[in-house]
Chain A
Amino acid sequence: MIVMKDAVQRLNAEYRLNLTEEEIEAITQQAEAAQQLFQKLFEVNVEGVAPALKIDPAERK
């Protein structure tokens, strides 16, 4: 699992965002909420299921 606060701080440094501590907290909270959501995806059995969106115009005809 990603420690989101660390990840936000790394992003802050890499993108030179100059975020305040309050902003880092707010973004961390949103990232953690997203993490809680996407972790559920890894519990689904998708054996044999290919990812959606193969961009193939021939397939769309």
Chain B
Amino acid sequence: MNAQDLENLTIAGLAAEIKNRSISPVEVTRLFLERIERINPILNAYVTVNADIALTEAKRAETEISQGRYRGPLHGVPFSIKDNIATKGIRTTAGSKILDDWKPDFDATVVAKLKEAGAIILGKTNLHEWALGGTTINPFYGTTRNPWDGNRIAGGSSGGSGAAVAATLSLGSVGTDSAQSVRNPGSMCGIIGLKPTYGRISQYGTVPGTGAYSCNHTGVMTKNVEDAAIVLQAVAGHDPRDPLSADKPVANYRGSLGNDVKHVRVGILHGYFEKDMAGEVKENFSRAVAVLRRLGMETEDVTIPHMDLIPAVKVCTSRVENSSAHDRNLRTRPRDYSKQTLYAYLSALLVPASAYLMAQRVRRII
């Protein structure tokens, strides 16, 4: 395998080669680290690269596999982690100045599960400051650029993860999503950005104040759907350390790929976003719906009441929950926030409790 081969590599493809020992995790890790060294200065996808630990873990993986202790399709696979998810002994900044030297003494559950599955953590990816925004134009760690066009943004807040996967600087990444933060960079970078059902992946170890308590999700970012299924399989499941984690069985995601979808009912939402949709996006959306129909799915136009109130509910929920986690830092280190973020949090502190509660009631009927 050479540097060129990496660009078409997927988790499923690499896993097969690692399993049959036609390539070693050390060799793969070295190739990825070299690629990061070459391309990351252009894209700024990573804020921290974890070369020494990654190589140590790759050697461990190689030894285990050579001794017949293959763990599964993530064993020896290069991975990245959004920098608001705690990684033991590795700096976790949340894209902020305030945490610029924080090295957690624990792993987030999602990171622990990835390590357990044998993934090699190459480093931490850039994000919008405190995950509060969709551009990954970060005043402290620089702007992440879109691998398809360096003059464009990669989206956000998990923009570094989006760019890293799209540019094959890792084969998978985990991000967080309260309001598009996985899906938006997934879309802008042309990769899969999966926001699973709330509680499906533990949030234990996500930095507080980088997502709303009641609507933040840990999400999966990969090059294709099969890879997303592989990763979700490894990281989903109940976590007693996260009180909002769902205590439900984990389905066989990869095994269900390719199943017959005839007569599956799909709601096609109307009445909210069409008027703002660009023509090209609208055409692609229609084509996607046509594909679902061709596969035998039954599509049905649906409307949801009060969709127009989503921005109000979002401001009163996401912003308020977020800002409450920043109270101490706002009192003691206000100048360590960018102005944009400082203003957003301070204005959110002025949303009255009655509006927050009303938003929680309206959430029930949207």
Q: Which residues of A contact B (CB under 8 A)?
A: 2, 4, 7-8, 11, 15-17, 23, 26-27, 30-31, 34-35, 37-38, 40-42, 44, 46, 49-53, 55, 57, 60-61
Contact = CB atoms under 8 A, between A and B. Distances in A.
A42 B358 contact: yes
Contact of A49 (B319, B352, B364): B364
B199 interface: yes
Contact of B361 (A7, A30, A31, A52): A52
Given A31-B347, A41-B313, A46-B364, 8 more contacts: A2-B352, A31-B350, A34-B351, A42-B355, A46-B361, A50-B364, A52-B214, A52-B363
A38 B312 contact: yes
A46 B365 contact: yes
Nearest to B247: A61
Interface of B: 199, 214, 243-244, 246-248, 306, 309, 311-313, 315-316, 319, 330-331, 334, 339, 343-344, 346-352, 355, 357-365
B355 A41 contact: yes
A41 B359 contact: yes
Nearest to B199: A60
Given A17-B334, A41-B359, A44-B309, A34 B365 contact: no
Chain B contact residues, majority secondary structure: helix
Given A41-B312, A41-B313, A34 B364 contact: no
Given A44-B309, A60-B246, A11 B359 contact: no
Given A15-B331, A49-B365, A52-B361, A44 B347 contact: no
B334 A30 contact: no
A32 to B, nearest CB: 9
Contacts of A57: 243, 247
A21 B248 CA distance: 52
24 contacts: A15-B331, A17-B334, A17-B346, A23-B339, A27-B343, A27-B346, A27-B347, A30-B347, A31-B347, A31-B350, A34-B319, A34-B348, A35-B350, A38-B351, A41-B312, A44-B309, A44-B358, A46-B361, A50-B361, A51-B364, A52-B361, A60-B199, A60-B246, A61-B247
A48 to B, nearest CB: 10
A44 B346 contact: no
A41 B362 contact: yes
B346 A11 contact: yes
